[in-house]
Chain A
Amino acid sequence: MTKAVYVNLSHCIACKACELACEREYGEARVRVEVVLNGAGGGVGVPVSCRQCETPFCALACPENALGREVDGLKFDSGLCSDCGLCVLACPFGAIELKKAGGGSGTSFLNLSGTVVRCELCPGKETPVCVATCPAGALVYTDCESFGKNIRRGKGKKCLKPSPAPL
């Protein structure tokens, strides 16, 4: 099963270390943390990076076949990209952003020369930098099945050893 960066949302403290680590490593952050507040002072950090979809919506939407899935992951051909932005529209997670070839500010997972710069899970590194740097231990580099299993086991562990006087 494909590995990806999973988030334990109850652990994210919205510190943005993951963003800075990625930016430090690749010049641009490919993981972005949104802070969502509940209007009563509570909040949660939501770090989003490419989900490494088995069926990538961005690639399905790309009319020029600039984005396509191959055996070892998503591939991007800058020569074919027409800057239309459909990939941005199609990604259900907001994990892709497009900087128009004409320039302009803002964040981007596609740089000016049209080279793919989306999250590629830090090739050559054992652990992606966002996962390694996360102070809260909120990010996990694993596959979908193990992540779910770990959450279930975690909840189970809590049942085994209840807090002394549950609040």
Chain B
Amino acid sequence: MEERSLHPSICPYCSVGCGFYIELEKGRPVGIRYMPEHPVNEGALCPKGNAALEILTHPERLTHPLRKSEKGWEKLSWNEALDTLAEKIREVRGKAGPEALAFLGSAKCSNEENYLLQKIARMLGTNNVDNCARLCHASTITGLGKTLGAGAMTNPLSDLAHSECIFVVGSNFAENHPPVARRVLQAKDRGASLIVADPRLTPSAWLSDLTLRLRPGTDIALINGLMQVILAEGLEDRVFIRKRTVGIEGLEKALKKYTPKTVSRITGVPAGDIIKAARTFAKAETASVVYSMGITQHVSGTDNVTACADLALLCGHLGKKGAGILPLRGQNNVQGACDMGVLAEFFPGYVKTDRAGNQEWLKKAWGLEKLPEKKGLVATEMVDAVFGGSLKFAYIMGRDPVNSTPNASKLKKALDSLDFLVVQDIFLTDSAKHADLVLPAAAWAEKEGSFTSTERRIQWVERTLVSPGDAKPDLEILIELANRLGLDATYKEAGDVLAEIARTVPAYGGLSKERLKEGCGLIWPCPDALHPGTPILHTESFSTPNGLASFVPVEFLEPAEPPDSDYPFLLITGRTGLHYNAGSMSRRSEALLCREPELYVELNPADAEALALEAGTIIVIETRRGRTEAKARLTQRVDRGVLFMPFHFPGTNLLTADALDRESKIPGFKGSACRIWRR
């Protein structure tokens, strides 16, 4: 048998950041070996991790730069492609100014690549940079930012095993972050209680000791209700509140009206369960709040997150082992892309672009005279800017907005209305089909760089394989483009960019390629070369100017688009265990696709009966924005009046609403009024 070699790597799918070995034979990936020594996943991999190699060798991988012409796609050389691109950027910038350019980074690309992309944008004079965090956890940054001072997970995932109570709201961790279930079960084996609040009875709810099935969009009412009980029964942590927080009076006042009876009426959760949950959470020595897109993807996203933070603060469940707030992020490097400043309102390290003095520091670091000060357009605002005529050019790196953005028909029109669209990806995604120029990128194992997982763990991924055809690592493409634009990018490799990141982003200060390669990564903040990293945040003080956390009361508002007589159902969307986000990878993975081949819609059997629909019927789902077809699945998982659709297939996001959260500009994906009928 031919010699096989093992190469450590990190799963390219989700933000958990599981480690495994790629098994190579003659340079081809032939297998996966598990890595029981990895601190995050202890060797385990979910279905997607097991299928990770399938996309590497997929026949549809992009192998050459492509230009759209009358005759279809035309191959061109890298030189031609990059010259054209640089020329276009110069032309648009010259004619319409830097504000006419937009750069969309990728939560699937490395820190180094994202850092360089936003640097290019800002050196060209625009803050129109954003990443897909806008669609999943922008509200975590705003909500946790204003309460705790840092919009990131406070404790590592393994800490969950040490919680006595785990309160999960708006997260189906069992399907979407399976290794989290491992930690939750370890806690349960030690006697912990699990409370799951979700409108759907998901596999996560199967594990729970108490399930709170709330009406979609009533999360704030529920959490306020829990806090009201805690205060009314005197279960709050007075010492913690006095020593480490401000603003409790305002919260106390705001919560008065959220009695169990009122909250039960709003949420549909029995008052007794609200009281039980509140007592269990408050009385636990250590408790964690776990949330995800069921909390963030609402027009009240920031307020939802804020309520979660208030709840943890009220009971002093922060800053120690087993006690914290754990927003489960989506993409493998969405945390990193945000840390790197691929956000319209932040420079690297969450430095606000529009605060006086903030530009000086970066100008010095980058040796520049000028930097854009105005907050840029966030991804969700760019669409309207295209129609308004002010945005003319977009560079999309590793992202498929056609399938991941709400109100997709409008977005497609916007892409077609641009003067020039360049998409850099590993496949000809539905978004790439709208591009003028397509650049073939290397996939994760074909390049090196660092990735930051949901628990702030920065891990180095090695280059293990060569890319198909002419496909190139994103970093190489960006360096070559930067040099063509006269921006003087002298980096030889990803390690050089990381060194610059370490000089620019204080939390990454102690990182180097060598250090990261040594073990299974480091958890930021890691300010200097000897610092061991900081798994638990806020142990002594919060990341706010005065070190104190703030209670910020939030009010429950009726969902933005309630069902009515024209659109009597409420559609919520989410993920399934066997697919991933826009599906551009998982739908190309045979092992995953054969187990979950098509778009479906979950509907309560009683509703189905009333409309004479059977399981398997193809039904049409229509909202105010569009319509799509899906196969009916009858299940008690959803309550009457509620529909659920996964968003991994084209179709779902034709339906979703593009109304935005005021502060974070995240769209309210969850909760679109709709109607249905048999096709």
Q: Which residues of B contact A13 (CB under 8 A)?
A: 174-175, 178, 181, 203-204, 206-207
The contact of A134 among B44, B195, B279, B280, by CB within 8 Å, is B44
* B568 adjacent to chain A (CB < 8 Å): no
The 8 A CB mask of B312-339 against A (1 = contact, 0 = none) is: 0000000000000000000000000000
B179 close to A135 (CB less than 8 A): yes
B45 close to A167 (CB less than 8 A): no
Residues of B within 8 A of A (CB): 31-32, 34, 36, 41, 43-47, 49-51, 164-165, 174-175, 178-179, 181-182, 185-186, 189-193, 195, 201, 203-207, 209-210, 276, 279-280, 283-285, 577-578, 591-592, 595, 635-637
B178 close to A157 (CB less than 8 A): no
Interface centre among A45, A127, A133 (most CB of B within 10 A): A133
* A104 adjacent to chain B (CB < 8 Å): no
Bound Cα distance A17, B207 (Å):
18
A132-B36, A162-B191, A167-B276 given; A40·B50 CB < 8 A: no
Query: Can you report 6 residue pairs joining A to B where beta carbons are below 8 Å apart?
Result: A16-B578, A132-B43, A157-B189, A158-B189, A164-B284, A165-B193
Give me the 6 closest cross-chain CB pairs, A-B, nearest first: A41-B201, A135-B178, A41-B636, A13-B174, A20-B50, A132-B34
The contact of A135 among B32, B41, B189, by CB within 8 Å, is B41
Q: Which of A21-29, A83-91, A113-121 contacts B (4 or more CB under 8 A)?
A: A21-29
A163 close to B31 (CB less than 8 A): no
* A44 adjacent to chain B (CB < 8 Å): yes
B182 close to A137 (CB less than 8 A): yes
Bound Cα distance A10, B185 (Å):
9
Bound Cα distance A129, B280 (Å):
38
The contact of A137 among B50, B186, B591, by CB within 8 Å, is B186
Q: Which residues of B contact A163 (CB under 8 A)?
A: 164-165, 191-193, 209, 280, 284
Q: Which residues of A contact B201 (CB under 8 A)?
A: 40-43
Q: Which residues of B contact A166 (CB under 8 A)?
A: 193
A-side binding surface: helix, strand, loop or mixed? loop
The contact of A43 among B43, B191, B206, by CB within 8 Å, is B206
Bound Cα distance A15, B595 (Å):
11
Q: Which residues of B contact A165 (CB under 8 A)?
A: 193, 279-280, 283-284
Q: Output the least CB separation between B223 and chain A (Å).
A: 18
Q: Output the least CB separation between B44 and chain A (Å).
A: 4
Q: Which residues of A contact B283 (CB under 8 A)?
A: 164-165
* A136 adjacent to chain B (CB < 8 Å): yes
* A154 adjacent to chain B (CB < 8 Å): yes
Given A41-B201, A132-B44, A133-B34, 16 new contacts (CB under 8 A): A11-B185, A16-B47, A16-B578, A16-B595, A21-B50, A40-B636, A41-B637, A42-B201, A133-B44, A135-B178, A135-B182, A137-B186, A157-B190, A162-B191, A165-B280, A165-B283
* A71 adjacent to chain B (CB < 8 Å): no
A15 close to B190 (CB less than 8 A): no
Name which residue of chain A comes closest to B35, CB basis: A132
* A14 adjacent to chain B (CB < 8 Å): yes
Q: Which residues of B contact A127 (CB under 8 A)?
A: 34
Q: Output the least CB separation between A73 and chain B (Å).
A: 23
Residues of A within 8 A of B (CB): 10-11, 13-17, 19-21, 23-25, 37, 39-45, 127, 129, 132-137, 154, 157-158, 161-167
Q: Which residues of A contact B276 (CB under 8 A)?
A: 167
A37 close to B51 (CB less than 8 A): no
Name which residue of chain A comes closest to B178, CB basis: A135
Q: Which residues of A contact B192 (CB under 8 A)?
A: 163
A13-B203, A17-B44, A129-B34 given; A161·B178 CB < 8 A: no
Q: Output the least CB separation between A35 and chain B (Å).
A: 9
A37-B635, A157-B189 given; A15·B46 CB < 8 A: yes
B50 close to A17 (CB less than 8 A): yes
A157-B190, A164-B165 given; A20·B577 CB < 8 A: no
Bound Cα distance A41, B198 (Å):
12
Bound Cα distance A75, B181 (Å):
37
A24 close to B178 (CB less than 8 A): no
Bound Cα distance A137, B182 (Å):
6
Bound Cα distance A51, B279 (Å):
44
A164 close to B46 (CB less than 8 A): no
Q: Which residues of B contact A40 (CB under 8 A)?
A: 201, 636
Bound Cα distance A32, B49 (Å):
18
Bound Cα distance A21, B45 (Å):
9
A17-B178, A20-B591 given; A43·B185 CB < 8 A: no
Name which residue of chain B comes closest to A161, CB basis: B191
Name which residue of chain B comes closest to A42, CB basis: B206
Q: Which residues of A contact B636 (CB under 8 A)?
A: 37, 39-41
Bound Cα distance A133, B204 (Å):
19
A15 close to B174 (CB less than 8 A): yes
Name which residue of chain B comes closest to A43, CB basis: B206
Q: Which residues of A contact B189 (CB under 8 A)?
A: 154, 157-158
Q: Output the least CB separation between A115 and chain B (Å).
A: 19
A13-B203, A20-B51 given; A136·B279 CB < 8 A: no
Interface centre among A20, A43, A129 (most CB of B within 10 A): A20
A167 close to B31 (CB less than 8 A): no
Q: Output the least CB separation between A11 and chain B (Å).
A: 5
Q: Which residues of A contact B210 (CB under 8 A)?
A: 167
The contact of B203 among A14, A133, A134, A154, by CB within 8 Å, is A14
Q: Output the least CB separation between A75 and chain B (Å).
A: 24
A13-B207, A163-B192 given; A41·B164 CB < 8 A: no
Q: Which residues of A contact B578 (CB under 8 A)?
A: 16
A17 close to B206 (CB less than 8 A): no
Bound Cα distance A41, B202 (Å):
8
B45 close to A133 (CB less than 8 A): yes
